Amino acid sequence: MTKISDDEMKKTIADFIEMGHVENIVAMFKQDASYYRYTGDLLADERFMVRMGVVLLFEELVVERPEDIAQAIPFLVPLLAEETPLYVLGEVLTVLGIIGNTEAKEYLRRYIDSPDPQLSEIARYYVLCERWD
């Protein structure tokens, strides 16, 4: 059996998400939690549909596998750097908000007073959201 590289797997996941097959990716993440390591790269994808699909993926996973989703945090943190485009940063904050644990909220708190009103709004919404605590 041929082993698929990480780059090939990330491309496959992104392509499936773009085609609207998020349910297939949910099943993959449920079966193998090591796929959380791709979260940051998927959110950095230039395709809007891929980034939006990752948000949908996490909305499903928070219901079906809430105990697993925090595994994505270490792969999201590098995207909180200043050079990250704002549109990607907004998606990262949204996924951190969906994760919603104490660690994720600590990262979100850093953006409450962001000069960018959209980032500030996302951070405020999820920090004040009590549905996960």
Give me the pLDDT at residue 129, please: 78
Domains in the chain: boundaries: 7-128
- Cα separation, 24 vs 64, whole angstroms: 14
Segment 12-43, tens digit of pLDDT: 999 999 999 999 999 999 999 999 999 999 99
For 61, phi then psi, to 5°, come to -65, -30
Provide Rg for the chain, Cα atoms.
14
Spatial contact of 14 and 50, defined as CB atoms under 8 Å apart: yes
Q: Which comes out higher in pLDDT, residue 72 or 128?
A: 72
- Cα separation, 40 vs 73, whole angstroms: 9
Segment 89-125, tens digit of pLDDT: 999 999 999 999 999 999 999 999 999 999 999 999 9
Segment 34-86, tens digit of pLDDT: 999 999 999 999 999 999 999 999 999 999 999 999 999 999 999 998 899 99
Tell the burial category of 117 from Cβ atoms under 10 Å away from its Cβ (0-12, 13-18, 19+): exposed
Spatial contact of 39 and 54, defined as CB atoms under 8 Å apart: yes
Give me the pLDDT at residue 105, please: 96
Q: If you ran DSSP here, which 8-state letter would residue 116 be given?
A: S
Give me the pLDDT at residue 133, please: 46
Q: Does domain 7-128 have CATH number 1.25.10.10?
A: yes
